[in-house]
Structure formats: structure tokens, C-alpha cells
């Protein structure tokens, strides 16, 4: 148990990996009173986020509630999910060092850390009131940082994001109220007394949280926001924020036994439409950053397939798979958006001949793109393989149909990812030098290392969720 100046924190000591992020935000604000040196503040953000990562890993497969009847539960699942949130977040913070869009870096780093702290609380909460408060603790700071550059595109992106976010907040509140009416409780996994109201409430919650996950047809805001805001913010919103939302939705819907009959067909349709829409529109994009934005929509479709295992014996395998795929997604999508820091113009033609201008950077960016497509030997392929395997292992016709579409969409994505690679390696371009992006290079290296040594990651994830919260295995 951790003590401070002689006072014990009791069970709340298990949340120090989250407290340290809020402490880091305070330090960044304090330092900003004396200096607005961007490198100093980026270092503060990275150090505190990395400290939180180490502390989270040290929790291991701890399984503990914070207090009696607590709405917060620390488990290996929530810890590893938070790890997959922190890794791309650290990349996003470091990406600020080469993207000087603000003269107030201290405030921006503080907002980053506050948002991360609430993400940790969100994925560890099993009470809808706490989930809502933590979720808003993430949303409000991200509304601010989306507009932090203060140019026209960023302000427009922020306004769209805020309007859609406010609407989704209203839906979430409405869904929570119906859940409470139907169950008499705000705790997840509670059996409903009024099934019609319960089903309606859960359906509204899908739409409410679906906006943040950017599933079809709720994805419109994400394209303009990811494209219009600065690259570090695009990286944070498309990775950490999306992984957090997925984790929250898994906690809610995989514990909703009475809703399983509706959950699977609904998410089967959502997954097929989302991945197909994202990939088809990405094909026509000539702006690489916008292509990455549509690719994020397609990835949300793949991630959504996890809900098809609800109430089956494949839940454990699916959770291990989604954790592996979330880590891969954070690395490859975060590294790809941060790679955009090296370009003033995101037009496809501007990537021509990149291999000759910076071979290591071109190779690293190519690896991330191939991993997004699911190329063997990368962590993206491993994550998809085990996720699709877990869905197929349920043995239902619906599962087979969804996975057929998922595989076809993965093959389709090779076209537009491959087109970028073709421009970088085989098309002649200008001789303007491009600096190395060490964040992208590191992300690519980790993607390949764990793509080859995937069994080590799989074994570690299996050990971390040995005490899987019972409500996540609902119906087994």
C-alpha cells in the first residue's frame, strides 16, 4: 500500500498509475508559468505518461475493487487496455516536438495528460455514472486541443467535433436513464426488469458511444476532425480515444446478457458497413492524411467484430485478440499520423520518390501501412488473425458472413495502402530532403518485432487477464 506523508490511501493506492497523469498536468501548468519551451513541456508529458505506463505494467494481473461496492475495478484486462491507450498517447505527445503549432505547449501537454487520466478511469469503471463522468473528462479536453492551432481548419474541426460530441453526450445520458429505469441500478451486468425499456436504452447507448468510435453511419465528424486538426491530436483521437471507447463499450455490452440477441446482428451489420464504407472511400483519396482518416473508419469496423462473441466460449480469446490488435492499431495508426509531421503538403504526389530522399523513413512508413492492411509478419496481421479466429470459433453463420467481408475488405485495403508505397518507392519525385521521424521508425520496429515474436505478447496478455472480470464473461 502506498502512503504519502504518513497517510494511507487504502485501496485507492491501486490508481496511482492514473494519479501520476493528473500530477504531470499540474507540473506542466506550473512550469508554464516560468517557461513555454516546447521541448521542456514535451519531455514533461512524455516522462509522466511513460511513468504511468510502467506503473500500469507493474500492476500485473491485479484484481481489486477500489472500496466496498466500488464502481471502479482494477484488473489485468483494464490494465492492459490502458497500456494500449498509453503507448500511442506517448507517441502523440512526442510528436508535438516537431509540430510547433502553438505558443502555449504547457497548456496543451497538461490537457493531453488530463485526458489520458480520465481514459484510465473510463476503462476501469463498471458503473454507468462513473463511465459517463470519465468519458466527459476525456471529451471536454479533446474539444479544446482540437482547436489549439487556431487556424481555420482546426477551428472548423473543433466546432464539428464539439457539436457531434454534445449530441452523443445527450444520447448517452438518455440511454443511461433508460438503463436505470429498466434495472434499478447503474452497475453493469444488472438483470433488467423491463426488457423493452432495457433494449431501447442499450440501443441508444450504441449510438451514443458509436459516435466516438466513428462507426458507420456516425463517422462524418471523424473525417474532418482527423484531417483538419494537427497531427499529434489526430493521432490521439484516432488511437487512444478510440481504444478507450472500444474498451468502455466492451465493458457495457459484453456484460448485457439480456441484449445479446440484438447485440450480435446489430454489430454484424455495423461492422460490415463500417469497414466497407471506410475502405471504398479511402480508395478514391489523393490526400494521404484524409486516406488515413477513412482508414480509421475501416479499422473501427474490424474492431467492432469483437461483439459477435458475446455470451460464447470465445470471449477470452476475443479479449486477448482485441488487446493485441488494439496495441497494433495504436502503433500503426499513431505512427502513420505522426509521420505526416514531415510533410507540408499531404497530397499523394508529395510522397513520390521518398525512398531516395530518406530510405529509413520510407521503409518505416511502408511497414506501418502494410501492418494496417494486415500483411503477414506484422503485428497488424497477428491481431486481425486472432480476432477473426475468435469470431469464427463461435460457429455461427452470422460470424462466418462477417469474417468473409472482413477478409475481403482487408484485401481491398492493400490497394490504397500499396498505392502510397508505390509512389514512395517507384515514382520519381522532387529532391527536397525529408528528415527522419524517429517516432514512426520506432513504431514500425515494434510492429515488426511483435509481429514475429507474437507468442510472447499473446502469452503475456493471457496471463494478464487470468482474472477476467466476471461480467465480461456474461452468459458463459
Three-state secondary structure of 98-167 = HCCCCCCHHHHHHHHHHHHHHHHHHHCECEHHHHHHHHHHHHHHHHHHHCCCCCHHHHHHHHHHHHHHHH
Which helix (DSSP H) or strand (DSSP E) does residue 207 occupy? helix 195-213
List of residues 6+ apart from 457 with CB closer than 8 A: 324, 327, 379, 382, 450
**pLDDT on residue 468:** 64
List of residues 6+ apart from 422 with CB closer than 8 A: none
Q: Which of 43, 180, 66 is nearest to 120 (CA)?
A: 66
Residue 403 and residue 123: Cα distance in Å, rounded?
27
Partners of 64 in the β-ladder: 74
Asked if 108 contacts 145 with a C-beta cutoff of 8 angstroms, the reply is yes
Residue 97 and residue 82: Cα distance in Å, rounded?
24
| DSSP 8-state symbol, 4 | E
Partners of 127 in the β-ladder: 187
Which helix (DSSP H) or strand (DSSP E) does residue 10 occupy? none
**pLDDT on residue 407:** 93
Residue 79 and residue 56: Cα distance in Å, rounded?
6
**pLDDT on residue 89:** 92
Q: Which of 342, 348, 334 is nearest to 379 (CA)?
A: 334
b/e per residue, 29-43, with b = 16+ CB within 10 A?
A: bebbeeeeebebbbe
Joined together, the cell numbers standing for residue 149 give 492551432
Q: Which of 406, 320, 330 is nearest to 368 (CA)?
A: 330
Can you give 399-411 as a three-state secondary structure string?
Answer: HHHHHHHHHHHHH
Domain range holding 407?
A: 3-473
Residue 209 and residue 200: Cα distance in Å, rounded?
14
| DSSP 8-state symbol, 11 | G
pLDDT along the chain (476 residues), means of 10: 41 77 92 84 91 84 52 80 92 78 78 92 89 90 77 71 85 93 87 86 91 82 80 88 92 86 90 93 89 91 91 85 92 90 84 86 92 90 92 90 93 91 83 80 92 90 71 52
Count: domains in the chain: 1
Q: What is the pTM of this model?
A: 0.90
Concatenated DSSP letters for 266-331? HHHHHHHHHHHHHHHHHHT--BHHHHHHHHHHHHHHHHHGGGGGTTSTTHHHHHHHHHHHHHHHHH
Amino acid at each position: 500500500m502506498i502512503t504519502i506523508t504518513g497517510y494511507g490511501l487504502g485501496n485507492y493506492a491501486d490508481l496511482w498509475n492514473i494519479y501520476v497523469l493528473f500530477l504531470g498536468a499540474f507540473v506542466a501548468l506550473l512550469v508554464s508559468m516560468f517557461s513555454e519551451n516546447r521541448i521542456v513541456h514535451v519531455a514533461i508529458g512524455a516522462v509522466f505518461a511513460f511513468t504511468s505506463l510502467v506503473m500500469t505494467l507493474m500492476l500485473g494481473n491485479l484484481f481489486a475493487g477500489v472500496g466496498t461496492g466500488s464502481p471502479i475495478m482494477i484488473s489485468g484486462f483494464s490494465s492492459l487496455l490502458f497500456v494500449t491507450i498509453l503507448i500511442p498517447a506517448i507517441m502523440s505527445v512526442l510528436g508535438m516536438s516537431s509540430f510547433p503549432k502553438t505558443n502555449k505547449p504547457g497548456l496543451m501537454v497538461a490537457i493531453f495528460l488530463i485526458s489520458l487520466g480520465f481514459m484510465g478511469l473510463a476503462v476501469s469503471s463498471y458503473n454507468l455514472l462513473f463511465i459517463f463522468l470519465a468519458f466527459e473528462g476525456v471529451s471536454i479536453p479533446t474539444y479544446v486541443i482540437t482547436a489549439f492551432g487556431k487556424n481555420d481548419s482546426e477551428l472548423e474541426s473543433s466546432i464539428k467535433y464539439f457539436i457531434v460530441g454534445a449530441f452523443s453526450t445527450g444520447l448517452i445520458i438518455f440511454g443511461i436513464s433508460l438503463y436505470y429505469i429498466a434495472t434499478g441500478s447503474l452497475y453493469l451486468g444488472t438483470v433488467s426488469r423491463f426488457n423493452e425499456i432495457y433494449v431501447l436504452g442499450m440501443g441508444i447507448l450504441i449510438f451514443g458511444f458509436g459516435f466516438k468510435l466513428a462507426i458507420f453511419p456516425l463517422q462524418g465528424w471523424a473525417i474532418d476532425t482527423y484531417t483538419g486538426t494537427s497531427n499529434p491530436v489526430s493521432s490521439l483521437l484516432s488511437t487512444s480515444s478510440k481504444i478507450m471507447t472500444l474498451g468502455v463499450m466492451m465493458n457495457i455490452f459484453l456484460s448485457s446478457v439480456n441484449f445479446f440477441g440484438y447485440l450480435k446482428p446489430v454489430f454484424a451489420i455495423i461492422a460490415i458497413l463500417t469497414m466497407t464504407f471506410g475502405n471504398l472511400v479511402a480508395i478514391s483519396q489523393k490526400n494521404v492524411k484524409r486516406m488515413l482518416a477513412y482508414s480509421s473508419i475501416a479499422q473501427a469496423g474490424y474492431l467492432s467484430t469483437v461483439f459477435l462473441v458475446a455470451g460464447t466460449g470465445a470471449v477470452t480469446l476475443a479479449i486477448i485478440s482485441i488487446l493485441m490488435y488494439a496495441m497494433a492499431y495504436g502503433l500503426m495508426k499513431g505512427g502513420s499520423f505522426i509521420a505526416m509531421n514531415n510533410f507540408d503538403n499531404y497530397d499523394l504526389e508529395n510522397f513520390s520518390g521518398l525512398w531516395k530522399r530518406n530510405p529509413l523513413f520510407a521503409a518505416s512508413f511502408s511497414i506501418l501501412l502494410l501492418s494496417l492492411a494486415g500483411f503477414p509478419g506484422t503485428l497488424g496481421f497477428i491481431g486481425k488473425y486472432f480476432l477473426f479466429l475468435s469470431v469464427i470459433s463461435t460457429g455461427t453463420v452470422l460470424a462466418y458472413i462477417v469474417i468473409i467481408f472482413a477478409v475481403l475488405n482487408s484485401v481491398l485495403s492493400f490497394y490504397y495502402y500499396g498505392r502510397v508505397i508505390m509512389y514512395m518507392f517507384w515514382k520519381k519525385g522532387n529532391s527536397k530532403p525529408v528528415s527522419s521521424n524517429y517516432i514512426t521508425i520506432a513504431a514500425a520496429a515494434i510492429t515488426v518485432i511483435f509481429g514475429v515474436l507474437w507468442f510472447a505478447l499473446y502469452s503475456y496478455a493471457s496471463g494478464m487477464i487470468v482474472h477476467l472480470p466476471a461480467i465480461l464473461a456474461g452468459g458463459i
